[in-house]
């Protein structure tokens, strides 16, 4: 379909992804820069999407009995230092409070970069018996990581997330939890965000500081860079030992609990916004869109009948479970209002003027394709439901095709470098699993290991970089 106008006020996604990304987030009123370095304000439109994520994820967690709770923002530095690898990993990006109420603190307080330590200090107090297990707790909160270079949603100094923390009797049970959480994240991305993901295990150098193993899901962005979309960690007994979280097992013996932690942050929204969308603005998948249908009265002589007809349409849709907004502003004029809602990515626009009011019909325009159809009032609800499902499906399919097209098996380092210099994307290559080699590849090509896909089979061959023996094909990409 023709796009009759170019968005005058919006930079083009087709020309410069990062300019477009920043521009569209500000202009669609998802977020704004805050008067604090590296921080942003999530505005109501953006926050309503985050609330959707919370609703979805709370539903998923409930299936396994995970409960929400809240732990303090401050963590005594001494507590954080109990797990050596953990504090080392996080120390470069900590914000630390050294003064409180004008007095210098004896034990400085860390503004949490993640809450393992403070939560596990409590677990040690609460867990005594196998009957106390599993302990399945989640919190929705903010964390602070002092990043040098920030980017709206994708990397901000303070961000919102959920962090799930579980303790189990056995490693097997913990491992099941790790994979369950990972699959929940996959569902959020694939079923709601319409973003296909890959998932697997992180290399030693990329894993969470203090974890035994980290699993992650990764999404591919339009510029061929990969976004670490969510992570799930098998903590083993790495924390339960220093934090002394022990219990009497079913045989009456003392043991330390097996733990997991997992999180998805507001970064995920950045991926959502960046992946979909075009030169005209955002395109929100219907299942995550705060507004699925915007009804746009077009005023002529008989305003009252148009407005009242729009109200009737809204009622039918709302009763059908569809999220609707009526834009009955008189200003600005129609074209401008159309454009506003396009930038905001609302999946469907209902145009209702004198014609529709008289005919008892509605003209429906799709945000993703620009196509318009006319529906009668009687078929409206069912057809709208169908359209929303179709749009959701087509957005996913489009992303899936992009993912497939940009995933390459490579067997020569020359070929590897060439792809990284052009289209980027995912590269599946044999790697010796030596961290030195991994670092060299990153330095030379910007590609780092993203993960070892869970379904990857053994394969004998030579490392793409050093030629030493390799047994698995790892997934490489430039990371966001």
Partner RNA sequence: CGGGGUGUGGCGCAAUUGGCUAGCGCGCAUCGUUUGGGACGAUGAGGUUGUGAGUUCAAGUCUCACCACCCCGACCA
Q: Which is nearer to RNA, 52 or 186 (CB)?
A: 186
Choose between 147 and 255: whose C-beta lies nearer to RNA: 147
**Residue 393 binds RNA (CB under 7 A):** no
- Interaction residues for RNA, span 20-59 (CB under 7 A): 22, 33, 37-38
Q: Does 356 bind RNA (CB under 7 A)?
A: yes
Beta carbons of 395 and 276 less than 8 angstroms apart: yes
Between 133 and 298, whose beta carbon lies closer to RNA? 298
Half-sphere exposure of 248 (CA within 13 A, CB side): 4
Q: Does 423 bind RNA (CB under 7 A)?
A: no
Contact status: 156 vs RNA (CB under 7 A): no
Q: By CB under 7 A, what part of segment 331-350 binds RNA?
A: 331-336, 338-340, 342, 349
**Pair type for strands 293-297 and 348-352:** parallel
- Angle CA 151–152–155, to nearest 5: 50
Collect all residues with Cβ–Cβ distance below 8 Å to 31 and sequence separation of at least 6.
25, 40, 41, 42, 43, 46, 152, 153
Among 92, 100, 393, 467, binds RNA (CB under 7 A): 92
From 377, 374, 356, select the one nearest 365 (Cα to Cα). 374
Q: Which stretch binds RNA (CB under 7 A): 88-96, 282-290, 384-392, 408-416?
A: 88-96
Q: Determine which residue in the list 6, 401, 409, 421 makes contact with RNA, applying CB under 7 A.
A: 6
- Compute the least distance from the CB of residue 20 to RNA, in Å: 10
Residue 117 has phi, psi (to 5 degrees) of -65, -45
Dihedral of the CA atoms 456, 450, 18, 222 (nearest 10)? Answer: 0
What residues between 269 and 328 interact with RNA by CB under 7 A?
Answer: 280, 298-300
* 371 makes contact with RNA (CB under 7 A): no
Nearer to RNA, 354 or 406 (CB): 354
**Torsion angles phi and psi, residue 450, rounded to 5:** -95, -50
Q: Which of 102, 106, 149, 457 binds RNA (CB under 7 A)?
A: 149
Q: What HEC string does 52-121 produce?
A: HHHHHHHHHHHCCCCEECCCCCEEEHHHHCCCHHHHHHHHHHCEEEEEECCEEEEEEEEECCCCHHHHHH
Contacting positions for RNA (CB under 7 A): 4-10, 18-19, 22, 33, 37-38, 89-90, 92-93, 114, 145, 147-151, 155, 202, 206-209, 214, 216, 228, 231, 280, 298-300, 330-336, 338-340, 342, 349, 351-356, 363, 365, 370, 443, 446, 479
């Amino acid at each position: 379909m023709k796009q009759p106008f170019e968005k005058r006020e919006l930079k083009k996604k087709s020309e410069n992804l990062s300019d477009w990304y920043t521009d569209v987030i500000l202009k669609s009123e998802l977020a704004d820069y805050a008067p604090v370095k590296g921080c942003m304000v999530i505005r109501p439109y953006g926050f309503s999407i985050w609330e959707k994520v919370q609703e979805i994820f709370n539903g998923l967690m409930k299936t396994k009995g995970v409960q929400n709770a809240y732990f303090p923002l401050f963590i005594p530095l001494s507590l954080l230092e109990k797990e050596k690898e953990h504090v080392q990993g996080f120390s470069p990006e900590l914000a630390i409070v050294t003064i409180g109420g004008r007095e210098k603190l004896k034990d400085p307080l860390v503004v949490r970069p993640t809450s393992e330590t403070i939560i596990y200090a409590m677990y040690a107090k609460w867990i005594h018996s196998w009957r106390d297990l599993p302990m399945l707790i989640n919190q929705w909160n903010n964390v602070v990581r002092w990043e040098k270079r920030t980017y709206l949603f994708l990397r901000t100094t303070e961000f919102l997330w959920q962090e799930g923390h579980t303790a189990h009797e056995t490693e097997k049970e913990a491992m099941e939890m790790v994979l369950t959480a990972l699959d929940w994240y996959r569902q959020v991305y694939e079923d709601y965000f319409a973003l296909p993901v890959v998932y697997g295990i992180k290399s030693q150098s990329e894993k969470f500081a203090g974890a035994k193993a980290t699993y992650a899901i990764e999404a591919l962005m339009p510029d061929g860079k990969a976004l670490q979309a969510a992570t799930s960690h098998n903590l083993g007994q790495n924390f339960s030992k220093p934090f002394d979280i022990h219990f009497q097992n079913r045989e009456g013996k003392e043991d330390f609990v097996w733990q997991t932690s997992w999180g998805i942050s507001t970064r995920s929204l950045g991926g959502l916004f960046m992946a979909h969308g075009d030169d005209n603005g955002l395109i929100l998948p219907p299942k995550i869109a705060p507004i699925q249908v915007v009804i746009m009265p077009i005023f002529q002589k008989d305003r009252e009948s148009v407005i009242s007809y729009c109200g009737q349409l809204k009622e039918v849709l709302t009763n059908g479970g569809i999220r609707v907004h009526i834009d009955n502003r008189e200003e600005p004029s129609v074209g401008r209002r159309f454009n506003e809602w396009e930038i905001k990515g609302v999946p469907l626009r209902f145009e209702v003027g004198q014609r529709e009011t008289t005919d008892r019909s509605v003209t429906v325009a799709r945000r993703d394709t620009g196509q318009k159809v006319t529906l009668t009032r009687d078929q409206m609800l069912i057809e709208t439901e169908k359209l929303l499902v179709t749009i959701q499906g087509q957005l996913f399919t489009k992303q899936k095709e992009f993912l497939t097209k940009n995933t390459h098996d490579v067997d020569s380092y020359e070929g590897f470098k060439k792809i990284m210099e052009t289209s980027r994307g995912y590269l599946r290559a044999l790697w010796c699993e030596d961290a030195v080699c991994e670092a060299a590849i990153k330095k030379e090509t910007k590609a780092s290991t993203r993960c070892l896909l869970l379904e990857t089979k053994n394969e004998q061959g030579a490392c793409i970089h050093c030629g030493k023996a390799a047994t698995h094909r790892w997934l490489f990409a430039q990371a966001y």
